[in-house]
Structure 1
Amino acid sequence: MAWRFELYETLGSTSDLCKEKAEAGAQEKLAIQAFAQTSGRGTRGRSWVDPGGNLAISLLFRPVNATDFLAAIPFLTALSLYETARQFSTGEADFMLKWPNDLLLSERKMAGVLIEAGGRADHKWIVVGIGANLRQAPEIEGRKLSALSEVAAPPDPVVFGRNLTLQMDHWVGVWEAAGFAPIREAWLDRAHPVGRHLAVQRRETYISGSFSGLDEQGRLLLALPSGEIIPVVTGDILLD
């Protein structure tokens, strides 16, 4: 099934509209894309600021096994973003993935993902909202952001979005054929290296340690100064 694109000049949130269509029975592989968003959302209730000319897209999936797909989709999306950005830049561009699905350029966030799920038990839907700074990065106090235009001519958001869905098809296909192991390996090849010092922030709590890879479920493994290795399920990852 080919992706069906609906393009809008302005939306409050591509994900909100995509979820409405999912609840109304829309088939999977629907892509809702806007040239500007006025109420974009990030994870943990944060806003996603859209100054225009960037990517704002939400993708609808209806997987057979929603539980397994939800565990894999952050990594499938991250890999798809990484490879699509590579297509529009030179080999010298310093892209890196940060757990679980942020795309960094020169260690500053260039793209983020918001994953939401719903529907009946026998007809689940999953909406993957993706925002990527193509033309310009918004200025947000206390945050270091980047844009693809720093390393390449900014691509047309529609062209970028269509290439992104092709990458999504590829990585979903790899996962369906071979499971999570090759996805885990590919993600690790593109992420901050093992041994990189980082901290996990959960509200006002910080846990410092070093990156020790991913386990078979995709949980971040954090090596503590004591030598203990703990799995991380949720939290903001702060790179030092």
Structure 2
Amino acid sequence: MSWRFEYHETLGSTSDLCKTRAEAGEPDHLAVQAFSQTSGRGTRGRTWSDPGGNLAISLLFRPTDPAAFIAALPFVVAISLFETAIHFCPTATGPSPFMVKWPNDLLLDGRKMAGVLIETGGPQERPWVVVGIGANLRQAPEIPGRQLAALSEKTNPPSAKAFGKALVAQIERWNALREQEGFAPVRAAWLARAHPVGTPLAVQGCETYITGSFSGLDAQGRLLLALPNGETIPVVTGDILLD
């Protein structure tokens, strides 16, 4: 099924519009993109600031295998963001400036360039999944206490429309591979684009702060955190802070 792209000059939230359409029975493969977004949302109730000229897009899915699809989706989108960013950058020698951070952030030179918010709903027999994606293409917003990056630091960035179309094509490709071969190739591709095993990191929750080092992903996509005492624990949720 081909994607239906819907473009708006300005929207409060592409995901909110996608969710409204989903609740009204809209079929899957709808992509809603805004060239300016005034009320974007991030994870854990955060706002996503959009100074204009950046990517703000939300995709509607109605998967036939909801549990497996939702478990793999953060990694599918992260890999797709990485591949799309690389595509629009000139070929360079040395290590890539891009890196993915668990589960679905894209970093540029260690600073966040893109983020993802996944929301679900609808009846059990016909659930919907909306994935909202924001990527700093032309400029990074200034947010106190946060270090953000934009693609324009490395190259003359493409239009938001061109980046969005290329990104959706990558998501479609990686999800098709997941449907054919399961989560294993997605997991391997994500690990190849992430911080190396052994990287010091911390997991910050609402009332917890745990330090350790990155020990990979398990078969369910949970981050494995090696603790100083030698124990390795799976992480299901939390902010990942790289040292």
TM class by smaller structure: over 0.9
Once the two structures are TM-superposed, the CA of residue 105 in structure 1 deviates from its matched residue by 0.3
Relative to the length of structure 2, the TM-score reads 0.98
Q: Deviations over 1:20-73 (max 9, x none)?
A: 001111111100000011100000000000000000000000000111111010
Query: Which of residues 154, 169, 177 is equivalent to 2:172?
Result: 169
Counterpart position of 2:71 = 71
Q: Deviations over 1:157-178 (max 9, x none)?
A: 0010000110011000110000
Counterpart position of 1:105 = 108
Relative to the length of structure 1, the TM-score reads 0.99
Counterpart position of 1:226 = 229
CA distance, structure 2, for counterparts of residue 203 and residue 123 of structure 1: 33
Once the two structures are TM-superposed, the CA of residue 90 in structure 1 deviates from its matched residue by 2.5
Counterpart position of 2:6 = 6
Counterpart position of 1:184 = 187
Counterpart position of 1:209 = 212
Counterpart position of 2:90 = 90
Q: Which runs of 5+ in 1 are unaligned?
A: none
Q: Which runs of 5+ in 2 are unaligned?
A: none
CA distance, structure 2, for counterparts of residue 68 and residue 180 of structure 1: 8
Which aligned segments of 4 or more residues in structure 1 are displaced greater than 3 angstroms?
none
CA RMSD between the two structures: 0.7
Aligned residue pairs total: 240
CA distance, structure 1, for counterparts of residue 50 and residue 143 of structure 2: 11
CA distance, structure 1, for counterparts of residue 80 and residue 19 of structure 2: 21
User: Aligned to 1:137, what secondary structure does the other structure show?
Assistant: coil
Once the two structures are TM-superposed, the CA of residue 203 in structure 1 deviates from its matched residue by 1.9
